Amino acid sequence: MNNRINLTIDGKTIQTEAGKNLVDVAKENGIYIPTLCYFRELNPLATCRICTVKLNGRHTTGCTIKVADGMDIEVNTPELLDNRKAIIEMLYAEGNHFCPSCEKSGNCDMQNLGYDMGITVTRYPHVFSDKIVDFNPKRMIMESNRCILCKRCVEEVKTKDGKDVFSFVQRGVKTRVHIDYEQEEKLSESEALHAMNLCPVGAILVKGMIHEQPFGERKYDLLGKNILPKVTSVNNNLHKKENEKFIVATTSLAGCFGCHMSLLDIDTDLLDIIEIAEFNKSPLTDIKKFSKRCHIGLIEGGCANSENVHVLEEFRKKCDILVAFGECAIMGGIPAMRNFVPLKECLEEAYLNGVTTEIGAHIIPGHEDIPKLLNNVYPCNEVVKIDYYIPGCPPNAQHIWKVVKSILLGEEFSITHDEFKYD
């Protein structure tokens, strides 16, 4: 027993065996160090950087630390917690993660870390880089949009004769994982499934094999803790006289109105809301123009055309607080999938060549009264400042009203894990 050692994690003294992996040691002692790429103790990959901790005052990855006597380790300092959150946000900004239409949603490790950390929006602008979806392999689909380059598949999936199936190509921001078709054919069905399950996100798919659990029963629907988004500086922004009702405006930009439908889902609770709030410009009231300054504006959808931009800018000017609700408002959502297709092709597909266009269609409408399409679909916060975000596609009605009410009343609130969803 002479390899027993002592170390401290966040000030807590822990006894364990020398040489064990820090992530595992921490876990055994009830301290959770989140990871994405870590899946084996031997030769950890240390690509994702999420487990970054401080060892004797210096930053390093937890998964590469073999514990030794006297180590002083910090895991959950505010700085380290924010670093982790920042990395997940950066992964969201760099990839094209449309959770509402993703096969892995609900079973995705990265999405779950997003929930755990209460991420409502990324602090970084979305890169929207064009990444391919490769359907060519015999059995698999490589969805590069979702790949976080954790390298698990590269290191782990080999053919029987020892060749790589997945490889990193290019470098820097252009780095991608590609599949070697010839080697992929050699994999057995179960090896292919193993690759899919190994991927922490939904980048590797096996054709015809989709995760089958319904909503509410997926891996991470069942696990998880409550989320505590922060309400900050509310009252600085809000210009309300006493006795006055809260004035609310809502709009749907490039969205599907699903978020507005969800607004109505609170049923009779709406009566409570009417007690403290009145609606101004909104599809719910059919008031088309602002007739007064509002305390809060709810925005559904991102900006796809010039009119969206005008409306959003007007909302920014007329409302004390702006809330983006729904994935489309937060990151562009499904409409932003067109950001990878040249605008001309989009128009031709819609008006000339699409399956639903009439034979002989030859006009792409253009008129000064028709709003102009933007080169890309923009998340709202890339056009104006947004104060709060409510994720979901659509967000759950309880979630929306809980947030809105708490913002207006300046109260802290928590969201349950099953209310907080990106899909």
Partner 1 sequence: MTFHKKHLPRTSLMDVLWEIQRKKRHIGRDDMSKIAQQFNMSRMELEGVITFYHFFHRRDCGKYTIYLNSGIISRFSGRKPVKKAFEDILGIETGNVTEDGMFGLLETPCIGLSDQEPACLINFKPFTNLTPEKVADIISSIKKGARLSDICDKPKSIIYYTPSKDRTVFFKPYTTFSALSQLKDLHPEELIEIVKKSKLAGRGGAFFPTGLKWQFCRHNVADQKYIICNADEGEPGTFKDRVLMEEHPELLIEGMIFAAYAVGAAKGAIYLRAEYMYLKEPLENLLSTYRQNGFLGSDIAAKIPFDFDIYIHMGAGAYVCGEETALINSMEGKRGEPSTKEFFPVQKGFLGKPTVVNNVETLCAVPRILEMGVDTWLQIGTDKTPGTKILSVSGDCPNKGIYEIEWGMKFNDFLKLTGVEKPKIVQFSGPSGDCLSITPDEGKTLRSSQRKSRDYLTDQEYDRVISGEDITCGGSVMIFNESRNILQIIKSFSDFFVAESCGICVPCRTGNFLLNKKLEKLLHGHGEKKDLEDIKAWSEIIRTTSRCGLGQMSNNSLLQAIEKFPEEFDRALSDNTDFNKAFHLDEAVAEYDNIINELTSDYE
CA-based torsion, 293, 295, 298, 302: positive or negative:
positive
Q: Give the strand order in the sheet containing 388-390.
A: 277-279, 246-252, 294-300, 319-325, 388-390
Q: How far is the CB of 258 from partner 1 (least distance, A)?
A: 25
Residue 139: contacted member of ligand SF4, partner 1, none (CB under 5 to 8 Å, by partner type): none
Residue 201: contacted member of partner 1, ligand SF4, none (CB under 5 to 8 Å, by partner type): ligand SF4
Based on CB atoms, which residue is closest to partner 1, 335 or 392? 335
In angstroms, the Cα distances linking 415 to 32, 185, 217 are 21, 46, 19
| Interface contacts to partner 1, rule CB under 8 A | 43-49, 52, 59-61, 64, 66, 79, 82-83, 86-87, 90-91, 93-94, 123-125, 127, 148-149, 151, 159, 162-175, 178-180, 182-183, 306, 309, 313, 316, 343-344, 347, 364, 366, 372-376, 378, 381-385
Among positions 45, 71, 199, 227, the unique one binding ligand SF4 when judged by CB under 6 A: 199
Nearest to 102 by CA among 75, 133, 80: 133
- Under the criterion CB under 6 A, does residue 399 sit at the interface with ligand SF4? no
274 Rama sector, left if φ>0, alpha if ψ -120 to 50, beta otherwise: alpha
How many other C-beta atoms are found inside a 10 Å radius of the C-beta of residue 261?
A: 12
Residue 97: contacted member of partner 1, ligand SF4, none (CB under 5 to 8 Å, by partner type): ligand SF4
End-to-end, the C-alpha distance of the chain in Å comes to: 50
- Span interacting with ligand SF4, options 128-136, 148-156, 254-262, 312-320, rule CB under 6 A: 148-156
Alpha carbon distance 406, 384 (integer Å): 23
Based on CB atoms, which residue is closest to partner 1, 105 or 183? 183
Alpha carbon distance 290, 192 (integer Å): 56
Q: How far is the CB of 409 from ligand SF4 (least distance, A)?
A: 32
- Under the criterion CB under 6 A, does residue 152 sit at the interface with ligand SF4? yes
Based on CB atoms, which residue is closest to ligand SF4, 200 or 255? 200
Assigned token pair, 235 = 């009252």
- Under the criterion CB under 6 A, does residue 150 sit at the interface with ligand SF4? yes
Using CB atoms within 10 Å of the CB of residue 386, give its burial: 0 to 12 exposed, 13 to 18 middle, 19+ buried: buried
Q: How far is the CB of 52 from partner 1 (least distance, A)?
A: 5
Residue 124: contacted member of ligand SF4, partner 1, none (CB under 5 to 8 Å, by partner type): partner 1
Written as one letter, the residue type at 322 is L
Assigned token pair, 337 = 């999938």
Residue 86: contacted member of partner 1, ligand SF4, none (CB under 5 to 8 Å, by partner type): partner 1
Binding site for ligand SF4 (CB under 6 A): 97-99, 102, 104-105, 108, 110-111, 146-153, 166, 177, 198-204
